[in-house]
Chain A
Amino acid sequence: MQRGKVTGVTDKPSEEIMEGYSVIGKSVPRTDAWDKVIGRAVYTEDIKLPNMLYGKILRSPHAHARIVSINTEKAEKLPGVKMVMTGKDILPVKYGIVPFAQDEYGLAIDKVRYVGDDVAAVAAVDEATAAEALELIEVVYEPLPAVFTVEDAMKDGAPEIHEGPKVKNNVSIQYRKEFGSIDKGFEESFHIREDVFKTHGQYHAPLEPHAAIAMYEPSGKLTLWSSTQIPFFLRHNLASTLGITEDRVRVIKPVVGGGFGVKIDMFSKDFCAAFMSMKTGRPVKMVYDREEALTCVRGRHPSIVKVRTGVAKDGRIISQYIDLTVDGGAYNSTAPLIITLSGYFAMIPYNIPNLVLDAKHVYTNKYANGAMRGHGAPQMRFAVESQMDILAADLGMDALEIRRINALEAGCDHPAKMILRSCGFKESLDLAANAIGWKEKRGKGNFRGVGLGGSGWASGVNNMSHIGGGAVVKLEKTGGVTVLTGAADIGQGAESVIAQIVAEELGVSFAKVRVIAADTDVCPLDSGTFGSGVTVRSGKAAQLAARDIKKQILTVVAKNIGGDPEHLTIKDDYIWQNGQKKMDINKAVKLVQYADIQVPMIGRGYYQLPAKEPTTLLRDNGDISGSYSFGTQAAEVEVDPKSGRVKIIKIVTADDAGRALNPDQVEGQVEGAVMTGLGHTLFEDPDFDMTNGQARSTSFTDYKLPTALDAPDQEVIHIETDDPVGPFGAKECGEGATIYTAPAIVNAITDAIGVRINDLPITPEKILRALEEKNNKGRKEA
């Protein structure tokens, strides 16, 4: 086997070649698979620089406390220690993802807000010395009362986690979104019901712990290698907190071992490594240990979702009121986004003409929550999709039918003015239901059941500023192609898909394309990996760049062979005219180079959907993305009534991700997302000591990730919708598939045991309790 080789392409007769795609839609092996499988892929932790120091962070033992004093003298005197820094040494500049919600410093200043908050940092000749030095730092704290639940945090007189006029009762961000008139809608409804759902937290837990290496050079240049998802935002946050200009900072993202949202924020390892490298003049490396990488970073927001829905007799939703409260932990991170995205994904995939969402983001004294795969939508969809089943039962309808009746369709007049250019939702309902055996298996009871969940997700969230991506495509004399992209591959395969896009658009073989990505000094600006926008945004930019260079080549070739450049094309490394092979690409490149036009040969592309300045996601109706994925998941489960254990027999995902550019990779995204959803639904649960805020799930021993033994049979059905916005019709596929796993499983469990559980996770204890209550009730009624 040859690396990246697409077989069976160039031997085909010419007519066949001109039809269809050469590399798009093919499951070519990823460009980085080879390096990864032989152990040659270089992650941040694998990098070692000459004269490098090792840094460590001292963390708060208190959930909430004032820092009275810090004495670093003893630590500084320890042989091998080169620097100790505290909040006193840094600029009091706050940072964060969303400008108006910034509330964090590189190191705590005056106050700590959760057990694990960053208090001081040390750089020493080796890790052991750095660890020893941490023990010698003397911090005097004045403990303050702390709160660990949103209910307690919002009480009058609750301790103020962040002081200031903007925050009342620890509600840091609040917003109301309104479409139509819910009052009128409820008046017109045949049936109304209200339910309350609760979701718990989740660790992202990528296998690679967070790491950073900073190197400051005497010229004034700072380079940071970081396990980040957003190199350009990180550059921005670093520059502003260090008080230097962005052009002096270079952020390089080496290979990243998974992110799922937890590598979006800047962390103290980035800031302190940079700060200490600037002060000591030596490279500084910081790697979080597993406990830090679980409990001192970010997690999924726990939530309380109250849903009141009014429906017509035939099951049509007329009105919906949703009250959402999310537990933000100690800092805002993505606060405004989580609650607005929850709102947007209450508007999809069903037609809800009248809707109000009241949402609050509340501080508590736990680690901060942030973006995690699906970002707000899993919480919202769990609630709403559970209630869809309840409503269907109330109306004596089939749970599939009520979804079909309410399903949005492409081209619809969306109440929130989202533009659905393609939408395979209805189809996904039928396909998923069929594949799980809905007709035969639904409603049979006997501790075996099937359930459905539907959802959609954005291909990148665009209704805010600076969400764009650029690309440069360079053609070498030998016909090799180099793509420069700012896209940050964190394991999802962005670089490989971009190589496929460029190969197809430019008409060269996949093996010729090399991608250089995520280096802020070398690559064009890109907003980074979040909101599942990379394929559409950065992929489209790369496609446009390839198109640009293709045009340049074909103009020269047309002059040479005669004819209109519009009638020329490049495919499978040849220039074609009217279905005839004219010359190979190398010859064309030579022609261009000998023609009197500019070299180097560079194509440029940039892609950004219309956006308003500043961020308007909070206020406006309207389209938030160029395209939306849709899908339905169906689960089949078996419940053991004795132990309360749930066995997931099968999960079907019928997924409209537009055109699957690489079907294997799309499937891989879905299968991984399902497991993350499954873990969250059944057992992953970050545990805290509620008396002092100390995290109890501090390792993979007490925080169980799903293992191979938990892997159910999975079937992925692609629904190809060829969306007009994305490159070659693609839409997102990374985040959407994690959103509806919880409702599919919970609805299946309900089908199996005949009682519903409204708070996640669905543990064996909860099932046993629910069964007992059901039996007691049955006995009383009998």
Chain B
Amino acid sequence: MATKQIIVLNVNGDDHEILVKPQQTLLEVLRETLGFTGTKQGCNEGSCGACTVLVNNKPTLACSTLAVAAVGKEIMTIEGLAGQDGTLHPIQKSFVENGAIQCGFCTPGMVMSTKSLLDRNPNPSEEEIKEGLSGNLCRCTGYAKIIKAVKAVAAG
């Protein structure tokens, strides 16, 4: 077995020095080592989007990314999105107000994907929203209220 190594990961603005195995995924390290359990594991094989985090502002499936590959980059998880004082990010607020959350298991990934979508395209059309969220599965909402929530943020 390959040897463990010490790496530094920057998560939500803070540096964390940790010991990892080369094959450990970013998801495992975030959840198990660092306790950022807001990032969800729905499949662990890159096909549900529940583990979506932002790495250097790019939506990234943490289950399909090695922890070592995230060294030197800025990682943002759902825990890092709200303000220090607890104020919700406009996307979070919109999800809450528009009934876009049921079981909530897809929510963190969905919110992170929305953030990346709106960063790239602040005024997406309905088709662009659907396209932008098509990698995030939700079994509860039928997507209707999620799409509505995203539209509402885009409209400001």
Contact with B along A9-49 (1 / 0, CB 8 A): 00000000000000000010110111111111111011000
Nearest neighbor of A256 in chain B, beta-carbon distance:
B103
From A30, A42, A675, A699, contact of B143 by CB (8 A): A675
Nearest residue (CB) in A for B138 is A207
Q: Give the CA-CA distance A325 to B104 in the complex, in Å.
A: 36
CB distance from A733 to the nearest CB of B (A): 13
Enumerate chain A residues within 8 angstroms of B146, measured Cβ to Cβ.
708
In the complex formed, the residue of B with least CB distance to A673 is: B142
Find out whether the CB atom of A41 lies under 8 angstroms from the CB atom of B96. Answer: no
Q: When the two chains form their complex, are residues B104 and A255 in contact, meaning their CB atoms are under 8 A apart?
A: yes
Determine whether the beta carbon of A207 is less than 8 Å from that of B105: yes
Q: How far is the CA of A690 from the CA of B144 in the complex (A)?
A: 37
The 8 A CB mask of B102-130 against A (1 = contact, 0 = none) is: 11111110010000000000000000011
Chain B, residue nearest A40 (CB): B38
Contacts of B36 in A (CB 8 A): 39
B111 touches A37 (CB 8 A): yes
Inter-subunit contact B145/A206 (CB<8 Å): no
Compute how far the CA of A255 lies from the CA of B101 in the bound complex, rounded to whole angstroms: 13
A35 to B38 CA separation, bound complex (whole angstroms): 10
Of B3-11, B45-53, B67-75, the segment with at least 4 beta carbons within 8 Å of chain A is B45-53
Residues in chain B near residue A38, CB distance under 8 A: 38, 78-79, 81-82, 88, 92
Cα(A706)–Cα(B130), bound, Å: 12
Query: What residue of chain A has the Cβ atom nearest to residue B131's Cβ?
Result: A709
B50 pairs with A672, CB closer than 8 A? no
Contact residue among B78, B79, B131, B139 (Cβ-Cβ distance under 8 Å from A258): B139
Binary interface encoding of chain A residues 628-672 relative to chain B, with 1 for a CB under 8 A from any of its CBs, else 0? 000000000000000000000000000000000000110110011
Q: Is the CB–CB distance between B142 and A37 below 8 Å?
A: no
Give chain B nearest CB distance to A37 CB in angstroms.
Answer: 4
Interface size on B, residues (CB 8 A): 54
- Structural contact, B134 and A709, CB atoms closer than 8 A: yes
CB-based contact A36/B45 at 8 Å: no
Given contacts A258-B139, A491-B104, contact A37 B39 (CB under 8 A): no
**In the complex, which residue of chain B has the Cβ closest to the Cβ of A255?**
B104
Is residue B140 within 8 Å, beta carbon to beta carbon, of the partner chain? yes
Docked-complex contact A664 and B139, CB < 8 angstroms: no
- With a cutoff of 8 Å between Cβ atoms, the chain A residues found around residue B107 in the complex are 36-37
Over the window 269-306 of chain A, the binary record of Cβ atoms lying under 8 Å from chain B Cβ atoms (1 yes, 0 no) is 00000000000000000000110000000000000000
Q: Which residues of A, 203-255, contact B by the 8 Å Cβ criterion? A: 204-209, 255
Q: B64 interface residue, CB < 8 Å from A?
A: no
Chain B residues within an 8 Å CB radius of A709: 130-131, 134
Residues of A within 8 A of B79 (CB): 38-40
Task: Give the secondary structure class of A's interface.
Answer: loop
- Assess whether B25 is interfacial by the CB under 8 Å rule: no
Q: Cα distance A34–B87 when bound, in Å? A: 11
CB distance from B109 to the nearest CB of A (A): 9
Closest to A491 in B: B103
Does the CB pair A699–B41 fall under 8 Å? no
Q: Taking the complex as formed, is A674 at the interface, i.e. its CB lies under 8 A from any CB of chain B?
A: yes
Within 8 A of B (CB), among A448-465: none
Chain A positions within 8 Å of B26 at CB level: none
Asked if B43 contacts A290 (CB within 8 A), the reply is: yes
Closest to B113 in A: A708
Q: Decide yes or no: A208 and B102 within 8 Å by CB, A675-B143, A701-B47 being known contacts.
A: no
Contacts A34-B96, A260-B139, A290-B43 given; indicate if A708 touches B147 (C-beta within 8 A). Answer: yes
Is B97 part of the binding interface, using a Cβ–Cβ cutoff of 8 Å? yes
Structural contact, B104 and A700, CB atoms closer than 8 A: no
Q: Which of these, B39, B77, B142, contacts A714 with CB under 8 Å?
A: B142
Q: Does A257 contact B (CB under 8 A)?
A: yes
The answer to the question of A707 belonging to the interface, with a C-beta cut-off of 8 Å to chain B, is: yes
Whether A597 is near chain B, meaning CB under 8 Å from some CB there, is no
Contact A672–B140 (Cβ < 8 Å): yes
Residue of B nearest to A662 (CB): B99
Give Cα A700 to B93, complex, Å.
29
Indicate the size class of the contact surface on chain A.
Answer: 35 or more
Q: Considering only CB atoms, which chain A residue lies closest to B92 in the complex?
A: A37
Number of A-B contacts (CB under 8 A): 179
B37: CB under 8 A from chain A? yes
Whether the Cβ atoms of A37 and B147 lie closer than 8 Å is no
- Kindly name the residue among A38, A667, A709 whose own CB sees the greatest number of chain B CB atoms within 10 A: A38
**Cβ–Cβ < 8 Å partners of B65 in chain A:** none
Shortest CB-to-CB span from B85 to chain A, Å, is 13
Whether A32 contacts B134 in the complex (CB less than 8 A), given A37-B88, A290-B45, A671-B145, comes out as: no
**A43-B142 contact given A207-B40, A290-B44, A708-B147, CB 8 Å threshold:** no
Q: Are A675 and B105 in contact (CB under 8 A)?
A: no
Chain A residues whose CB sits within 8 angstroms of the CB of B106 once the complex forms? 207
Decide: B88 and A36 in contact? CB cutoff 8 A. Answer: no
Q: Within 8 Å CB of A205, what residues of B?
A: 139
B29 within 8 A of A: no
Is B57 located at the chain interface by the 8 A CB criterion? Answer: no
Q: How far is the CA of A591 from the CA of B37 in the complex (A)?
A: 45
Which has the most chain B C-beta neighbours within 10 Å: A30, A671, A708?
A: A708
Question: A39 and B38 in contact (CB under 8 A), knowing A258-B139, A709-B130?
Answer: yes
Whether a CB of chain A sits under 8 angstroms from the CB of B137 is yes
A377 → B minimal CB distance (Å): 19
Query: Do A39 and B108 touch across chains, with their CB atoms under 8 A apart?
Result: yes
In the complex, whether A1 has a CB less than 8 A from a CB of chain B is yes
Q: A32, A46, A256, A706: which contacts B37 (Cβ < 8 A)?
A: A46
Interface residues of A in 558-605 (CB under 8 A from B): none
Indicate if A484 sits at the interface (CB-CB under 8 A).
no
The answer to whether A30 touches B101, judged by C-beta atoms less than 8 angstroms apart, is yes
A430 to chain B, nearest CB (A): 23
Q: Are A207 and B142 in contact (CB under 8 A)?
A: no
Q: Is A711 an interface residue (CB 8 A)?
A: yes
Whether A711 pairs with B137 at a CB distance below 8 angstroms is no
Assess whether B48 is in contact with A206, with CB atoms less than 8 Å apart. no
Selected from A257, A290, A671, A676, the residue in CB contact (under 8 A) with B104 is A257
B133: Cβ under 8 A from any A Cβ:
yes
B residues 20-45 with Cβ under 8 Å of A? Answer: 31, 36-45
Which residues of the other chain, B, contact A333 by a CB distance below 8 angstroms?
none
Whether A39 lies near B37 (C-beta < 8 A) is yes
Q: Whole-angstrom distance between the alpha carbons of A161 and B79 in the complex? A: 50
Contact of A672 with B37 in the complex, beta carbons under 8 Å: no
Instruction: Output the least CB separation between B34 and chain A (Å).
Output: 12
Does chain B have a CB within 8 A of A705? Answer: yes
Q: Does A493 belong to the interface (CB within 8 Å)?
A: yes
Supposing A1-B93, A36-B104, A708-B133 touch, asked if A258 and B140 sit within 8 A by C-beta, the answer is yes
Asked whether A207 and B130 contact (CB < 8 A) given A1-B93, A39-B39, A39-B108, the answer is no
When distances are taken between beta carbons in the complex, the residues of chain B under 8 Å from A671 are 141-145
Residues of A within 8 A of B105 (CB): 43, 206-208, 257-258, 491
Instruction: Give complex CA distance A392, B108 in Å.
Output: 48
B137/A207 in contact, CB under 8 A: yes
The 9 closest A-B pairs by CB, nearest first: A39-B38, A491-B103, A257-B105, A36-B104, A39-B78, A671-B142, A675-B142, A664-B99, A700-B47
Known: A207-B50, A491-B103. 11 other contacts (CB 8 A): A30-B96, A38-B38, A38-B81, A46-B37, A206-B139, A258-B103, A290-B42, A664-B145, A667-B145, A700-B47, A700-B137
- Can you give 28 contacting A-B residue pairs, CB < 8 Å? A30-B99, A34-B96, A37-B92, A37-B101, A37-B108, A37-B111, A39-B79, A41-B104, A45-B41, A207-B42, A207-B48, A207-B50, A207-B139, A208-B40, A208-B42, A208-B105, A255-B103, A290-B43, A668-B99, A668-B144, A672-B140, A675-B141, A675-B142, A699-B45, A708-B129, A708-B143, A708-B146, A711-B130
Chain A residues within CB distance 8 Å of chain B: 1, 27, 29-30, 32-43, 45-46, 204-209, 255-258, 260, 289-290, 490-493, 664-665, 667-668, 671-676, 699-701, 705-709, 711, 714
